[in-house]
């Protein structure tokens, strides 16, 4: 966890999941809490060494790798927890994430791991999109749905903490099929972030950059590329089932998914591209022989 100071007030701890930190007078607000107690301890240890205050925690979205360390921060530092509306429900009832990924069934025990379910935490302040003032911190919360239902990016002191709305260029390649719940919303969120006037931005996974617009554009292109690949796979045969299209995309993109957890994440992301094609009226879908089937829409049909 390498600590990087961005300006008088803003810091970021770079790791596989970044953690932000805002300092103002006698208050300090962490942005996200890393995946678990051991990861967030590497952050707070450095803040303690520099005598920086730890009083608030803003969770950008309810994915376990961003809030898993939150319970420790509450217990150890008594931080005030701030989270977006809706995401709050999951942070306070964390079994919801493995539940929705498991199509609503009670999740198998193997899905109840730290990657999909963090320790529950009570949210003190629920926030929405727009200007926010929480104690000494004033910032703009920007709704960036598409990766998570009500994810918020934070614009504060000339810095954009973009959460998982986009990934660093290397990180997209590593994830291969980045997790999304809606392509349309993900791309609209990115278009919105391109217009934010700040000195630099840092995503949840990837480096701090001043030229972040370029990286956001690369993310938009990547979503577009995956959308066309899904369409191409559906167009290749007269019809294709949901199970088959998920398997074909995972094979083509060479993702690593030999466990149920990662498989369900990829299945959700591929389904987001499929639903985008349905919403764009480019493919049709129906149930046949108890399978969910897709086919390309004929011109004029
Ligand atoms: Zn996430």
pLDDT tens profile 134-183: 999 999 999 999 999 999 999 999 999 999 999 999 999 999 999 999 99
Q: Is residue 24 part of a domain?
A: yes
Region 254-267 average pLDDT: 95
Whether the per-residue pLDDT at 54 is higher than 80: the answer is yes
Last residue of a domain, one of 222, 237, 271: 222
C-alpha 240 to ligand 1 mean position (Å): 29
In the sheet with 291-296, reading across from the earlier edge strand, the strands are 240-241, 291-296, 283-288
Q: Is residue 7 part of a domain?
A: yes
Same domain, 174 and 86: yes
Same domain, 29 and 17: yes
Same domain, 97 and 235: no
C-alpha 147 to ligand 1 mean position (Å): 6
C-alpha 69 to ligand 1 mean position (Å): 14
C-alpha 151 to ligand 1 mean position (Å): 9
pLDDT at 301: 55
C-alpha 212 to ligand 1 mean position (Å): 19
Give the model confidence (pLDDT) of 91-129 as tens digits.
999 999 999 999 999 999 999 999 999 999 999 999 999
Region 67-82 average pLDDT: 98
C-alpha 25 to ligand 1 mean position (Å): 30
C-alpha 205 to ligand 1 mean position (Å): 9
Same domain, 210 and 232: no
Same domain, 100 and 245: no
Same domain, 115 and 65: yes
Q: Is residue 301 part of a domain?
A: no
Same domain, 156 and 259: no
C-alpha 65 to ligand 1 mean position (Å): 7
Last residue of a domain, one of 222, 237, 257: 222
C-alpha 178 to ligand 1 mean position (Å): 9
What residues are paired with 143 via a beta bridge? Answer: 152
Same domain, 235 and 162: no
* Mean pLDDT, rounded, of the chain: 97
Same domain, 248 and 115: no
- Please give all residues whose CB falls under 5 A of ion ligand 1, grouped by chain where several chains appear: 63, 164
C-alpha 164 to ligand 1 mean position (Å): 5
Q: Is residue 150 part of a domain?
A: yes
Same domain, 242 and 193: no
C-alpha 84 to ligand 1 mean position (Å): 14
C-alpha 201 to ligand 1 mean position (Å): 17
Q: Is residue 130 part of a domain?
A: yes
C-alpha 174 to ligand 1 mean position (Å): 15
Q: Is residue 104 part of a domain?
A: yes
C-alpha 239 to ligand 1 mean position (Å): 32
pLDDT-derived band of residue 298, with 50, 70 and 90 as boundaries?
A: confident
Report the domain count for the chain.
Answer: 2
Q: Is residue 156 part of a domain?
A: yes
C-alpha 9 to ligand 1 mean position (Å): 25
Same domain, 156 and 185: yes
C-alpha 176 to ligand 1 mean position (Å): 15
Q: Is residue 204 part of a domain?
A: yes
C-alpha 207 to ligand 1 mean position (Å): 16
Check which CATH number belongs to the domain holding 243 and give it: 1.10.10.10
C-alpha 16 to ligand 1 mean position (Å): 12
Domain encompassing residue 77: 2-222
Last residue of a domain, one of 168, 202, 222: 222
C-alpha 66 to ligand 1 mean position (Å): 7
C-alpha 231 to ligand 1 mean position (Å): 25
Check which CATH number belongs to the domain holding 40 and give it: 3.60.15.10
pLDDT at 137: 98
pLDDT at 257: 86
Whether the per-residue pLDDT at 299 is higher than 80: the answer is no
Region 4-13 average pLDDT: 98
pLDDT at 219: 98
Same domain, 139 and 91: yes
């Amino acid at each position: 966890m390498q600590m990087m100071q961005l300006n008088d007030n803003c810091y970021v701890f770079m790791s596989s999941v970044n953690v932000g930190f805002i300092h103002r007078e006698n208050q300090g607000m962490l942005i996200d809490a890393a995946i678990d107690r051991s990861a967030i301890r590497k952050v707070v240890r450095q803040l303690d060494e520099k005598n920086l205050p730890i009083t608030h925690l803003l969770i950008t979205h309810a994915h376990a790798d961003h809030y898993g360390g939150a319970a420790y921060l509450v217990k150890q530092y008594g931080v005030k927890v701030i989270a977006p509306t809706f995401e709050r429900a999951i942070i306070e009832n964390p079994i919801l994430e493995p539940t929705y990924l498991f199509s609503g069934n009670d999740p198998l025990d193997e899905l109840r791991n730290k990657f999909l379910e963090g320790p529950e935490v009570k949210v003190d302040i629920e926030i929405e999109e727009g200007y926010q003032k929480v104690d000494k911190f004033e910032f703009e919360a920007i709704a960036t749905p598409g990766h998570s239902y009500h994810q918020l990016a934070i614009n504060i002191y000339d810095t954009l903490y973009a959460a998982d709305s986009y990934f660093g260029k290397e990180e997209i390649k590593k994830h291969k099929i980045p997790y999304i719940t809606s392509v349309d919303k993900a791309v609209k969120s990115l278009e919105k972030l391109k217009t934010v006037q700040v000195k630099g931005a840092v995503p949840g996974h990837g480096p701090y950059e001043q030229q972040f617009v370029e990286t956001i554009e690369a993310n938009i292109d990547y979503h577009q590329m995956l959308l066309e690949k899904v369409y191409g796979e559906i167009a290749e045969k007269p019809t294709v089932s949901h199970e088959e299209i998920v398997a074909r995309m995972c094979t083509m993109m060479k993702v690593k998914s030999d466990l149920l957890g990662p498989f369900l994440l990829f299945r959700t992301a591929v389904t987001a591209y499929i639903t985008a094609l349905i919403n764009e009226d480019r493919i049709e879908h129906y149930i046949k022989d108890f399978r969910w089937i897709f086919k390309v829409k004929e011109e004029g049909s």
